[in-house]
């Protein structure tokens, strides 16, 4: 195998592992469990009530980003 092939295999493997970990942590963050254990790690946390979660979700939907100026930044010093 050439060096480029080895680098490609390592890159694809690392990207796949990163995607799996991201999916795992995302599903754990949406969990309603107060105790979570995975791969030998344990976590105790306070879970938001359903009402507080829905209020936060609605607040995020109603948030409007401030307008951005189309003018270029002044880079002269």
Write the pLDDT tens digit of every residue in 6-52: 999 999 999 999 999 898 888 777 777 777 777 787 878 777 677 77
CA 66 to chain centre: 23
Separation between Cα atoms, residue 67 and residue 70, nearest integer Å:
9
pLDDT at position 64: 63
pLDDT for residue 2 is more than 70: yes
Torsion sign across C-alpha atoms 65, 67, 72, 74: negative
Q: What is this structure's pTM?
A: 0.48
* Pairing mode, strands 41-44 and 35-38: antiparallel
Separation between Cα atoms, residue 7 and residue 11, nearest integer Å:
6
pLDDT for residue 67 is more than 70: no
pLDDT for residue 54 is more than 70: yes
């Amino acid at each position: 195998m050439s060096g480029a092939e080895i680098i490609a295999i390592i890159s694809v493997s690392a990207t796949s592992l990163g995607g799996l970990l991201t999916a795992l942590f995302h599903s754990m963050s949406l969990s309603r469990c107060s105790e979570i254990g995975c791969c030998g790690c344990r976590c105790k946390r306070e879970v938001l009530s359903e009402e507080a979660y829905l209020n936060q979700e609605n607040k995020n939907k109603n948030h409007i980003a401030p307008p951005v100026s189309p003018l270029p930044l002044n880079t002269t010093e």
